[in-house]
Amino acid sequence: MPVPFVLASQSPARLSTLRAAGVEPQVIVSEVDEDALLAEARAACAQQAAAGIGFALELADHPQLLARAKAEDVVGRHDPDAIVLGCDSMLEFEGEILGKPHDADVARERWRAMRGGTGVLHSGHALVDNRLSRREATGAPTLAADTSSTVVHFAELTDAEIDAYVATGEPLTVAGAFTVDGLGGPYVESIEGDYHGVVGVSLPLVRRLLRTLGVDFHELRP
C-alpha cells in the first residue's frame, strides 16, 4: 500500500504534476486567508524589528509561510492519517512579491512591466507528517519545509499579445500572472532552475523533504 498522501491545494497543475509522477493524492483544500496571514506576519516582523529582535520577512519567505499554513490548516481541521503537502507560489519581480492578480487590468499592467524582463518564481513547500504511527513515535506531527526558486525570462510581448493573453482569463488566477505549462508557455523565453517548481510543485524538492521524514518518493506510488 502507498504511504497516504494529501495535497492541500485546489491547483489542477499541481495535481496533474503529481499524477504524472505516479502519485494519486487525496485533495483537501485549505481555508487559509492568505492576505490576512501575510499581513499579520509582516506586522509581527516589523514589531520585532522595532524592538531590535527577530528578523525581516524576506520575499522568498512569503510562499513558504503560506505553504506551511495550508498544510497545518488541513491537518488541524481534518486530521488525516497521512502526509500533507501544502504549496504556494509567488513571483519576485523588481523587488516586489507578486501573487495572483485576480483583476484583468492588474494582470495587463503586470505583463507590460514584466515583458522582456526577468523574475524569480518562488514555490514554497511544506510537508506535515500526520500519520498516526509518526505521532505515536514523536508525540506530534513532523514538519519539513523549503522553497524552490527558479529564474524566469519573459518574452518581449506586444500590447496585442498581452491583451489576448489576459482575455483568456488564465493569468488572473495564477501566481505572477503566467503559466509555463499552459497558455502562457509561449511567453516564457527560458527558465533557470526547476521546471516543476514553476508549474507549482517541485518534484525534486518534494523528494528531498520526504527523505527527511524517512519516506522515499516511490513509496507514495501504488
Tens-digit pLDDT profile for residues 34-68? 888 877 877 766 665 565 655 555 777 889 999 99
Backbone dihedral angles phi then psi of residue 103, each to the nearest 5 degrees? -110, 140
Cα-based distances in Å from 21 to 7, 15, 17, 163, 206? 14, 10, 6, 35, 11
Long-range contacts of 11-20 (CB under 8 A, 24+ apart): 11/87, 11/200, 11/201, 13/179, 13/181, 13/182, 13/199, 13/200, 13/201, 14/87, 14/199, 14/200, 14/201, 17/196, 17/199, 17/200, 17/201, 17/203, 18/201, 18/203
Answer yes or no: 88 catalytic. Answer: yes
Catalytic residue among 61, 73, 88, 146: 88
Tens-digit pLDDT profile for residues 67-118? 999 999 999 999 999 999 999 999 999 988 888 999 999 999 999 999 999 9
Read off the DSSP letter of residue 141: -
pLDDT tier, 136 (very low <50, low <70, confident <90, very high otherwise): confident
| Spatial distance between the Cα atoms of 185 and 97, rounded to a whole number of angstroms | 21
Among 173, 167, 148, 162, residue whose Cα is nearest residue 116: 162
